[in-house]
Amino acid sequence: MTPAHRREDALQTRAVHPPAPETGLLGRASAPPVHRTATFTFDSSDSFATVMSDHTRGYAYSRIDNPTSDAFAQAVAGLEGGQDGQPFASGMAAITTTLLAFLSAGDHVVAQRRLYGGTHHVLTRVLPRWGIGVSFADSPQEAAAAMTDTTRLVWCETISNPTLRVADIPALAAVAHAGGALLAVDSTFATPVVCRPLSMGADLVVHSATKYIGGHSDATGGVVVGEREHLDAVRALRTDLGGSLAPDEAFLLLRGLQTLPLRVERQNRTAARLAEGLAVHRAVERVEYPGLPGRPDHALAEAVLASGRFGGVVTLTPRGGKEAALRLCDSLRLCHIVTSLGGTATGVSHVASTSHRQLDDDALTAAGIAPGAIRVAVGLEDPDDLLADFHSALDGL
Ligand SMILES: Cc1ncc(COP(=O)(O)O)c(C=O)c1O
């Protein structure tokens, strides 16, 4: 499989020219073929055994590898600038498999305090059952102080869900490496259009492909990208745990990937406009958006994120707490009330009762999540229509 793109081609060029699957015949399919099969058959038991024992790359069983799912992971690796990528059935399958691939009983992980609720839950409730310790840190300095002899992994999100804090990836990479650990970055909210963590020293990049990468709210998947040596460990554990990506989902994710730069650029522009427009409304208590000047991490956002791009999510807290937040969500005309993000239609969700429902009040406060916070995942609607919809709903509070 040879990539049709060159590493130096622009992102949108690379997105529409992912590595093309070989057919072995003259002529290649323009769209990726879907290898909708659980098993692969061989001419001899000997070649079957060779593939099963990993002595020759080949396909035997789709829980282990599937050509369509591999094509998807390689395409993301191409955009992130990674040597290899491994596909997963969901973002959480990618996250849990990565954590368990590098952590054993007695090990320790240092994680950013502000994280997706599902990841927070795995770190605080699941990993301790296997004797894996976790410390949370708000800054690279706190992360350095939290490192121990047994720290194997440092974990952060490029733009945190839903507080939209930007991680200082170069500084966290230095902290991790000084302690002999790896830095893993969940870059779901950023996508390779907004940030490429591997180029800043990260060792592993994880995505929920369900979000921007798929981009149409019609497929669930995940992916991990990094150096082959690390990805071999991730693939081996995925084979055992079984969170493998189905080929039909991989096809949809590959299709979404081709328009990723176009969609994300547009969503970023609209989000910036919405954040500015909402910040001045009298019914709004607070707007979180890394692109708003005056935010504590605005300079960091400018350094870590691609020029002029600050993500497609805005977190909005209306005056009046949870009750006002729920009323606002219910009175928006154009927005879907949904838990996911990164689709074509703008989605809103009340954070404390949905994506971060696993956090108790103390953990919500520690993570900086207000009881009335609403996550607004901006879609592809006309920006004026969207702003008018929010203003009219806020006027009615
Ligand atoms: C930042 C982040 N990482 C991971 C996940 C989990 O992804 P999935 O729902 O595909 O398992 C989510 C889901 O919302 C997320 O927001």
* pLDDT tens readout for residues 74-98: 999 999 999 999 999 999 999 999 9
Q: Does some domain include residue 198?
A: yes
Domain containing 353 — which CATH number? 3.90.1150.10
pLDDT of residue 146: 98
Note whether 361 and 286 are same-domain residues.
Answer: yes
- Cβ–Cβ contacts within 10 Å for residue 273, how many? 17
Least confident span in 23-32, 219-228, 309-318: 23-32
Question: Sorting pLDDT into bands at 50, 70 and 90, what band is 23?
Answer: low
**Domain-ending residue, one of 240, 257, 274:** 257
Note whether 48 and 184 are same-domain residues.
Answer: yes
pLDDT of residue 173: 98
Q: Does some domain include residue 1?
A: no
Note whether 217 and 338 are same-domain residues.
Answer: no
Question: Sorting pLDDT into bands at 50, 70 and 90, what band is 55?
Answer: confident
Catalytic residue, chosen from 113, 116, 168, 238, is 116
Q: Does some domain include residue 161?
A: yes
Q: Does some domain include residue 89?
A: yes
Q: Does some domain include residue 3?
A: no
Residue 203 annotated among the catalytic residues of the structure: no
pLDDT of residue 118: 93
Note whether 230 and 331 are same-domain residues.
Answer: no
| Cα 235 from Cα 83, distance rounded (Å) | 14
Instruction: Work out the angle at residue 7's Cα, subtended by the Cα atoms of residues 94 and 202, and round it to the nearest 5 degrees.
Output: 40
Note whether 104 and 253 are same-domain residues.
Answer: yes
Residue 63 annotated among the catalytic residues of the structure: yes
Q: Is the pLDDT of residue 1 over 50?
A: no
Contact 157 CB / ligand 1 (< 6 Å): yes
| Cα 159 from Cα 360, distance rounded (Å) | 22
Question: Sorting pLDDT into bands at 50, 70 and 90, what band is 285?
Answer: very high
In a mutational test of the pocket of ligand 1, which residue from 116, 216, 355, 369 has the highest number of ligand atoms less than 8 Å from its CB?
Answer: 116
Distance (angstroms) between ligand 1 centre and the Cα of 55 equals: 34
Strand pairing report for 204-208 and 222-226: antiparallel
CA 226 to chain centre: 14
**Average pLDDT of span 321-327:** 95
pLDDT of residue 120: 95
Q: Which domain holds residue 290?
A: 260-395
Which of 222, 173, 174, 169 lies closest to 342, judged by CA? 222
Note whether 333 and 209 are same-domain residues.
Answer: no
Please, what is the average pLDDT of the chain? 94
**Which residues contact residue 64 at a Cβ distance below 8 angstroms, ignoring those fewer than 6 apart?**
239, 244
Note whether 294 and 253 are same-domain residues.
Answer: no
Instruction: Please tell me the total count of domains within the chain.
Output: 2
Helix (H, G, I), strand (E, B) or coil at 192: helix
Note whether 160 and 284 are same-domain residues.
Answer: no
**Domain-ending residue, one of 213, 242, 257:** 257
| Cα 292 from Cα 286, distance rounded (Å) | 12
Q: Is the pLDDT of residue 215 over 50?
A: yes
pLDDT of residue 22: 65
Q: Does some domain include residue 4?
A: no
Helix (H, G, I), strand (E, B) or coil at 367: coil
Q: Does some domain include residue 105?
A: yes
Residue 116 annotated among the catalytic residues of the structure: yes
Q: Is the pLDDT of residue 374 over 60?
A: yes
**Domain-ending residue, one of 257, 283, 318:** 257
pLDDT of residue 366: 84
Q: Is the pLDDT of residue 69 over 70?
A: yes
**Average pLDDT of span 136-159:** 98
**Average pLDDT of span 340-344:** 95
Residue 361 annotated among the catalytic residues of the structure: no
Note whether 233 and 333 are same-domain residues.
Answer: no
Residue 381 near residue 344 (C-beta atoms within 8 A):
no
Note whether 199 and 342 are same-domain residues.
Answer: no
Q: Is the pLDDT of residue 37 over 60?
A: yes
Note whether 235 and 372 are same-domain residues.
Answer: no
Note whether 48 and 187 are same-domain residues.
Answer: yes
Which of 212, 250, 243 lies closest to 340, judged by CA? 212
Domain containing 188 — which CATH number? 3.40.640.10
The identity of residue 170, as a single letter, is: P
**Average pLDDT of span 358-377:** 88
Catalytic residue, chosen from 211, 263, 295, 309, is 211
| Cα 335 from Cα 346, distance rounded (Å) | 5
Q: Does some domain include residue 264?
A: yes
Least confident span in 6-20, 243-257, 264-278, 367-381: 6-20
